[in-house]
């Protein structure tokens, strides 16, 4: 049951009054409109990089991968590779003219291995051949041509931590009434609990794999088509690899076939290799890896291990919490420090923790370097506290929802219990009202009683039910990334072209930005088009990540469109005023060629109420025509209106062009009020919080460990939705992706060789349509963002992934029922059938 998909436009509180048309039937903001490329996707006409026509002379590249997890590179038999059919050249680290590094933060991530190999699957050389198949065949000879002296490999984060193998110093966040306050609060608490929770990683499994096409241009410049979430970073990486200035590299991305964070930093290696090869050979080079190699080369969501101890009272209220987070960073830094920071900042989730101490470490292992994934550490940190709260409720014999409620942040700010561990006040919480609504609409109480009754009479099959909340901070936790630019061009026929720094990966960013621009100019959506993201149009952009795509780029595009709108309004008002100022019987050179302007109904509207200087503007009571201001003009339905005056948008645009009015503008936006102290992990890192909650009901077979999701009720806060249809899709897609992470997507490395064993769809199980419950009820919580976000909407990309916690904890509930709720189930994530069966055997 999808609600709000066809909802009418919503009143947008707090928006400027210059264009007061939010409730108009034609307004596109707030409508559940189709994705701008939906018709192309359905027809198979949406062009991705592999669909672009190959230029004459295009060569193809493949990567030779290390067959060992750790070792010293002693040599490569390049002559043997170059003698293979179709091979044009072979590149090694020594052939990179600039910098052999693609690390986004620390320079510890080589493009091609040099001296030491750090994981099984690390690229060591690149083969360039006349066809992709010949390149792949040559690259597959890596085991034969590489001479590597094996070294001991560390494959698990726990072992790395115990050995002291860390990337950077530990991160510590403590919010205590006095030094040592957390320890004292735990020791003085009526109840204490200690435990360990293991949480696996997750492969992004985008439909379009990593791909890049590099085309050499004149004077040493390079055009790069990359499937990337961060064109500006790819521009920098390519420039550094080539040893040229950034302005000589142009990176373009029309759309991606999914990204989920896996194309934020890790598309860099492929861009660098393709560009170096293209520069060296002076020919276009295309690099597209297959699914197996993509798995073996790239990193994924970080796995975590948590050691925790908490103290709580009889009601389940947490009095103190200590936690150690061991994050599996992989072999290099990549984005891991920022991921761990966000995990620490989201440990509180929706709960006020009076005394809390969190220590996080980045364990360096000989595995792929882990990277961004939808949620960026937030889901890992928040799941830890949810598991703890669930355990407290079970130990006390209470309904977990009751324990969650007593730990919620205060409903009203200023009443205490409203400051996060990192010192940011929580002033916008709606979690109480949202939980109340979901409890009622999901019939939570009755269904818990029904599940208990079912379990009492069913010895094999057990039902579980859980309701879990979400509080998710929105903004990059690196403050300077919270900026965006955009360009808006209005053409003389009244059509509009928009370019912004965000990237489209199927989430509907271009659709929302086009809606914002169309709303600002009072146009139907089909009059506005977004072009490919291009570093030569909008420079120095941030990644499309952290759920900020619409917030940042929507605001930047709105600013650009508003500038053009104000110019057109000022131009038209000037013409109206000029018509009133000319003496009777004469015509001002700047006035319209007639005294009337066609109205929306095809008739004529008076150019002025009176030719006298003291005339009032019709429809604008008390304001003389000469006192009209541009803000009195309303842009709506393809028209400009001011009282009884009206003119078509395309007509006034054509006139403005003849009068040499600038019809394009840039726009810029920087999120206000953000600050962060990396040393103390304190500040105001988030512009606002998004909230949500979900109820999931599962059925577990205690003989096989198999689970089935019976029903899910999702209620999510997206503020005043820009596009409810897209937002509903994002909520449901995020929930299912989170469901896969926590139930079926298991990453397994060979304990001796370090080979990733789950490197293809045959062994790595993402959720399918059969895993989506037949009864899926999704709704958007009706509220407005309390800060000046774009049209008072809220981000929707990452936060709803946390709704899947309810499914995992429902499985824990069912497993607990198998043992009569006598003990907490030792269930790790993902809750595969094997993991569930082990937990069932432990509790029975």
Is residue 467 within 8 Å of 439, Cβ to Cβ?
yes
Is residue 641 within 8 Å of 598, Cβ to Cβ?
no
Which one, of 245, 246, 236, 299, lies nearest residue 272 by Cα? 236
Q: What is the pLDDT of residue 24?
A: 67
Which one, of 18, 30, 21, 31, lies nearest residue 784 by Cα? 30
Output the CA angle 503-508-510, nearest 5 degrees.
55
Q: What is the pLDDT of residue 622?
A: 53
CA distances from 80 to 61, 99, 356, 489, 536 (A): 17, 27, 60, 54, 41
580 burial class (0-12, 13-18, 19+ CB within 10 angstroms)?
A: buried
Is residue 119 within 8 Å of 367, Cβ to Cβ?
yes
What's the rounded Cα separation, in Å, for the pair 180 and 174? 9
Q: What is the pLDDT of residue 734?
A: 98
Q: What is the pLDDT of residue 627?
A: 78
Active site residues: 798
Q: What is the pLDDT of residue 621?
A: 53
Phi, psi of 431 (to 5 degrees): -65, -30
Q: What is the pLDDT of residue 488?
A: 98
Which one, of 626, 616, 833, 644, lies nearest residue 746 by Cα? 833
Output the CA angle 290-292-295, nearest 5 degrees.
105
CA 734 centroid distance within chain: 10
Q: What is the pLDDT of residue 616?
A: 43
What's the rounded Cα separation, in Å, for the pair 172 and 247? 40
Phi, psi of 292 (to 5 degrees): -65, -45
What's the rounded Cα separation, in Å, for the pair 797 and 800? 7
**DSSP secondary structure string, 582-632?**
SPTT---TTS-SSSEEE-TTSSEEES-S-SSTTPBPTTSTT-BGGG--GGG
Q: What is the pLDDT of residue 658?
A: 98
What's the rounded Cα separation, in Å, for the pair 58 and 689? 48
Alpha helices (runs of H) in 622-758, residue ranges in sequence order: 649-658, 724-743
Q: What is the pLDDT of residue 579?
A: 84
Q: Give the relative orientation of helices 724-743 and 805-818 as an angle to the nearest 10 degrees.
A: 40
Is residue 336 within 8 Å of 327, Cβ to Cβ?
yes
Which one, of 447, 481, 487, 484, lies nearest residue 467 by Cα? 447
Please list the ranges in the chain whose pLDDT falls under 50. 1-21, 23, 584-619
Region of 693 please: left (phi>0), alpha (psi -120 to 50) or beta. Answer: beta
């Amino acid at each position: 049951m999808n609600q709000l998909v066809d909802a009418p436009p919503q009143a947008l509180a707090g928006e400027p009054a210059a264009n007061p048309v939010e409730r108009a039937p034609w307004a596109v903001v707030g409508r559940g409109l189709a994705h701008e490329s939906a018709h192309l996707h359905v027809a198979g006409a949406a062009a991705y990089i592999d669909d672009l026509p190959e230029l004459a002379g295009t060569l193809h590249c493949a990567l030779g991968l290390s067959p060992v997890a750790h070792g010293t590179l002693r040599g490569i038999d390049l002559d043997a590779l170059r003698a293979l059919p179709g091979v044009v050249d072979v590149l090694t680290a020594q052939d990179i003219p600039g910098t052999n590094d693609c690390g986004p933060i620390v320079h510890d991530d080589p493009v091609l291995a040099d001296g030491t190999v750090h994981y099984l699957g690390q690229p060591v050389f690149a083969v360039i051949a006349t066809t992709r198949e010949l390149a792949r065949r040559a690259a597959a000879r890596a085991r034969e041509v590489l001479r590597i002296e094996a070294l001991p490999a560390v494959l698990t984060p726990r072992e790395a931590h115990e050995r002291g193998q860390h990337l950077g110093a530990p991160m510590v966040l403590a919010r205590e009434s006095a030094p040592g306050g957390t320890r004292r609060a735990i020791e003085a608490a009526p109840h204490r609990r200690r435990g360990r929770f293991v949480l696996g990683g997750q492969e992004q499994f985008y439909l379009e794999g990593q791909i890049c096409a590099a085309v050499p241009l004149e004077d040493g410049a390079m055009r790069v088509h990359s499937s990337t979430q961060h064109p500006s970073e790819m521009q920098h990486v390519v420039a550094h690899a080539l040893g040229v200035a950034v302005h000589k590299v142009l990176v373009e991305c029309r759309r991606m076939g999914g990204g989920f964070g896996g194309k934020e930093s890790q598309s860099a290696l492929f861009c660098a290799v393709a560009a170096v090869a293209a520069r060296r050979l002076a020919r276009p080079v295309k690099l597209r890896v297959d699914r197996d190699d993509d798995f073996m080369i790239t990193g994924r969501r970080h796995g975590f291990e948590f050691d925790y101890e908490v103290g709580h009272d009889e009601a389940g209220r947490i009095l103190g919490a200590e936690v150690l987070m061991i994050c599996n960073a992989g072999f290099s830094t990549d984005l891991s420090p920022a991921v761990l920071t966000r995990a620490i900042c989201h440990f509180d989730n929706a709960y006020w923790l009076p005394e809390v101490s969190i220590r996080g470490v980045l364990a360096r292992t000989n595995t792929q370097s882990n990277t961004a994934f939808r949620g960026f550490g937030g889901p890992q940190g928040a799941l830890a506290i949810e598991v703890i709260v669930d355990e407290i409720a079970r130990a006390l014999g209470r309904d977990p929802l009751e324990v969650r409620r007593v730990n919620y942040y205060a409903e009203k700010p200023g009443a205490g219990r409203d400051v996060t561990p990192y010192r940011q006040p929580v002033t916008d919480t709606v979690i109480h009202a949202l939980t109340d609504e979901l409890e009622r609409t999901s019939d939570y109480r009755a269904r818990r009683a029904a599940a208990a009754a079912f379990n009492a009479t069913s010895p094999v099959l057990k039902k579980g039910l859980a309701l879990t909340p979400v509080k998710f901070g929105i903004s990059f936790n690196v403050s300077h990334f919270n900026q965006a630019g955009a360009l808006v061009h209005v053409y003389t026929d009244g059509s509009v072209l928009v370019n912004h720094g965000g990237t489209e990966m199927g989430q509907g960013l271009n659709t929302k930005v086009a809606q914002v621009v169309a709303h600002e100019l009072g146009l139907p959506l089909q009059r506005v088009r977004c072009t490919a993201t291009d570093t030569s149009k909008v420079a120095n952009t941030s990644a499309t990540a952290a759920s900020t795509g619409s917030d940042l780029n929507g605001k930047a595009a709105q600013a650009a469109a508003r500038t053009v709108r104000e110019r057109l309004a000022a131009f038209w008002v000037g013409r109206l005023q000029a018509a009133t100022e000319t003496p009777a019987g004469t015509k001002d050179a700047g006035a319209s060629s007639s005294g009337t302007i066609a109205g929306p109904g095809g008739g004529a509207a008076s150019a002025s109420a009176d030719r006298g200087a003291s005339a009032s503007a019709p429809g604008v009571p008390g304001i003389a025509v000469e006192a009209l201001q541009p803000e009195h003009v309303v842009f709506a339905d393809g028209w400009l209106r001011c009282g009884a005056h009206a003119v078509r948008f395309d007509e006034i645009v054509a006139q403005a062009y003849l009068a040499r009015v600038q019809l394009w503008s840039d726009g810029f936006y920087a999120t206000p009020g953000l600050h962060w102290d990396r040393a103390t992990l304190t500040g105001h890192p988030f512009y606002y919080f998004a909230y949500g909650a979900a109820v999931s009901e599962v059925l577990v077979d205690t003989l096989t460990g198999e689970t089935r999701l019976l029903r899910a009720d999702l209620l999510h806060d997206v503020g005043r939705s820009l596009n409810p249809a897209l937002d509903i899709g994002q909520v449901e897609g995020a929930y299912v992706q989170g469901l896969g992470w926590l139930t079926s997507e298991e990453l397994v490395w060979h304990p001796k060789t370090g080979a990733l064993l789950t490197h293809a769809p045959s062994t790595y199980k993402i959720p399918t349509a059969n895993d989506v419950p037949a009864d899926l009820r999704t709704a958007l919580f009706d509220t407005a963002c309390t800060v000046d976000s774009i049209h008072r909407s809220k981000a929707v990309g990452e936060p709803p992934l946390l709704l899947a916690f309810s499914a995992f904890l429902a499985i824990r509930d069912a497993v607990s029922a198998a043992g009569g709720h006598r003990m907490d189930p030792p269930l790790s994530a993902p809750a595969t059938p094997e993991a569930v069966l082990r937990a069932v055997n432990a509790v029975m």
